[in-house]
Amino acid sequence: MMPIIATHESTREYIYPADRRKLRVRIRCSRENIRSCSIVYWNRFNESVREHKDMVCTGRDNDWIYFSGELSFDETARYIKYYFIIGDSDGKTWCLGRDGLSPEKPRHFYEYLYTNELDVLNVPEWARGSVLYQIFPDRFFNKDRRNDPPGVVPWNSMPSRENFFGGDLKGIISKLDYISSLNVGVIYLTPIFKAPSNHKYDTEDYFSVDPSFGDMDDLRTLVKECHDRNIRIILDGVFNHSGYFFPPFQDVIRKGEASEYRDWFYIENFPVRTDPPNYECVGYYKWMPKLRLSNPDVRKYFIGVGTYWIRQADIDGWRLDVADEVDFTFWQEFRKAIKSVKEDALLVAETWKNGSDMLRGDQVDSVMNYLFRDAVVDYFATGEIDAYEFDHLINRMLHTYTADSLHVLYNLLGSHDTPRFLSLCRGNLDKMRLAIAFQMTFPGMPAIYYGDEAGTEGDNDPDCRRAFDWENINRELLGFCRKMTALRNSDRPLRYGEYRSIHCNGDTYGFARSIDGENTYIILNNSAEEKTLTIPCFEGFSEELRFVSLVSDKTYAPEKITAGEALHNSDIYDYCSKINMILPAYHFEIIKKGG
């Protein structure tokens, strides 16, 4: 039995093109006793010229240590054979080839064959690191009472699954300056198409705005006003299922097996019945029949929906509801059609699991990162895990996705499908601020669920869908959110940098964001006690050097690292100095090298 474990396959999870002349390669090894990893590679038509490149350790979790590297070529990356050399703490080396580990050079090698243009995952540049704001339209602001649906309840009523509050597109337009003050780069609206429910996930007409929200002109105005403020806007695409009153489904109900739409759905037998339903539904919910997207006519129809709203209203992309329940070949066709109309449109898939199978460059650009949310809830809100487990979950998630995908992941604290984060914190604003600080300094697209920035609370659906309380905004929390989003947008490492965990000790956690030699350090005290901390840094020691806080007026003088000093991850990162700091309970610090 080999004393170490190493995992790599010549698949897109481990080797993929950054562009046609550059490959990114990843490998993971058993956490303990691994000290180095390098890759040997060559073109199979020129075996005499072999390159040897050291790979960079990018982090580790409780089980694995991760290495990555970039291979650049003078021509299109093609016909590349390769293997790895792994060094352990005892000075021994091991080779990893196609057939596994060996103490000698492998007999068979991995191979990467060719980079085609469409193999490269191109995500919209504008979305990288951008702040996103999610709106549930019925609950945001009621500007035009003339379009209120019957039975609208008072704005401060408690939400139910059936009641309506009257929020509309004009209401969103009237609050764009408020949204812009949060330094938002993209707005996501939950469904706005005609549907009988308040949530609109039971679509009746995919080609019209629900009258209670407004009309096409209102949507066009909203999009234009957003674009004038340098804000993009994406809509919610419910293409896995329709509503019960969708005309093709109603046609099947009326005509049964004679309906031309009978194969648009998964109907077991005729006539159609609802109690219990004899057709497949999303979540067994009879008012939302599942669509048969293997049917070419259904595909054509919904690809037409996707391109229609881009052409007619100039929207900037789609959030795709329950995308992981849809035939992946539909998303491949959908992506081609959308990108042919607007090349930099953003496609975000809803999934509550590891969504890397949808991020191979042929389906979507991003996924809703509930893995991120779960870890943040467990560490900051409920305290169910300590910093060590949090670090494990975060690093496991970071190494699940490719480098390009990471910077457009939809990183949320909550949504219309979860309890409000502040309620999970039991109203503790200190914990809420810590979680926001982490979210706003983490790689990806930090997503604000409307009202979270103002102190809105609520249990799970429907309570998490309360109307925005414009009369009782928590101004202190709002100001904090504005400060953090502004800092994120102004600091290059926070928006675009790589992530390295540098401190982990029970209730305290720290990490660095780095790009092109510029580092920003984030340190968080997730406890009810003041903590004295030693934080390692990548900058070399000098008497003149100072680190400055980006959130206060404090400065910190670096110190030399003493021989044998134990610092988190010092065996995989090259620290050059350290600083000491005192963090009050539930406080954080963000620092970088002073100018």
Catalytic residues: 321, 350
CB distance 335 to 364 below 8 Å:
yes
Residues 6+ apart with CB under 8 A from 77: 17, 20, 21, 22, 23, 71, 112, 114, 115
Radius of gyration of the chain (CA): 26
Q: Distance between CA 425 and CA 422 in Å, rounded?
A: 5
Tokens of 366: 């991003």
Q: Distance between CA 452 and CA 470 in Å, rounded?
A: 12
- Cis ω for the linkage preceding 271 (within 30 of 0): yes
DSSP 559: B
Query: Between β-strands 186-189 and 100-102, what pairing exists: parallel, antiparallel or unpaired?
Result: unpaired
Distances (CA, A) of 554 to 183, 262, 267: 25, 68, 66
CB distance 520 to 502 below 8 Å:
no
Q: Look at residues 472, 471, 473, 467 and name the one whose alpha carbon lies nearest to residue 155.
A: 467
Angle between helices 475-490 and 429-440 (to 10 degrees): 20
Phi, psi of 157 (to 5 degrees): -70, 160
Tokens of 138: 């019925």
DSSP 119: G
